[in-house]
Amino acid sequence: MNGTDTSARSPSVVSKEADARFRALAAARGFRLENRWVGGAVEHAWRQTRHVFEHFGLPIEGARVLELGCYMGGTATVLAVLGARVTAVDVDPESLEIASVNAERYGAPAIRFEHVTNLAYLPFRDGEFDAAVCYGVLEYVPHAELGRIKAEVARTVRNGGVIWVGGTSGRLWPREVHSGRWLTNYLPRIVDGARAPSSALQRGLWPWEVGRGFGLCDNLDLLDGGEHFLAAARSRGMSVAKLAVLRLGIPVARTLGVWAGLLLPAMSVRLRKRSN
């Protein structure tokens, strides 16, 4: 799907049976259904990511898309509804089960959900996908493996394909966007000390950790002056005031060779893998 269709309605639950299974699975894991990342995952992804895919840099309909870290399957479902052929992976098999049922409850076309124990070793061929989507996931992977994971994502995307990182917490900001905690972004990782990985302080990523490390890529947002980014933001309903600030900030950052989307609290960047 190309262009912007602001009248499009969010997908709705079509299977009562799958809905009942989804609710039971979520409750069994202690998830709150009213949480927008759980019961509202698809609606949230529709509002936040659909407009990006409509201004993506390649046609989403028919594209082979890898989603890294699918969690509740919200973004994977939106991609499938838009016509993509989606492969969604996650390290948590229980999340994959819920995500699969979540997609089913919305009647989404077939999505290939796969359990991958280590995201640094993806079981896919070189160039198997037209695009890869990393939405709100890279800040959660083991930091020591981040470089390897980014390189592995890039390996699976064909030359000329698009890699999108979005919704990723930016470490420049005093408040970490996912946990809501103040100043943890500024604490060095060494202060975690002997903490178990599950109890380590949540931090975002630095802009260069998102904009680099995917191999030889062109920053599509820099190349088009942010027009696709602004079009998606406008379609999403961003306020006139915020749009005006972005319009002023994008060229200022560009003069420094920086994409403004990497300076936001929730970072966003579109990269096109260069052809050899």
Whether the per-residue pLDDT at 229 is higher than 90: the answer is yes
What domains appear along the chain, each with residue ranges and CATH number? 16-186+200-273 (3.40.50.150)
For 119-175, what is each residue's pLDDT tens digit?
999 999 999 999 999 999 999 999 999 999 999 999 999 999 999 999 999 999 999
Residue 201 phi/psi, 5° resolution? Answer: -65, 135
For 54-82, what is each residue's pLDDT tens digit?
989 899 999 999 999 999 999 999 999 99
Q: Which residues pair with 164 in a beta bridge?
A: 133, 270
For 33-53, what is each residue's pLDDT tens digit?
888 888 899 999 999 899 999
206 touches 146 (CB < 8 A): no
- Whole-model pTM: value is 0.93
How many whole angstroms separate alpha carbon 164 and alpha carbon 63?
14
Structure tokens at 180: 């809501």
User: Residue 184 to residues 18, 81, 173, 187: CA-CA distances in angstroms?
Assistant: 39, 37, 10, 5
Coil/strand/helix, residue 115:
strand
Whether the per-residue pLDDT at 3 is higher than 50: the answer is no
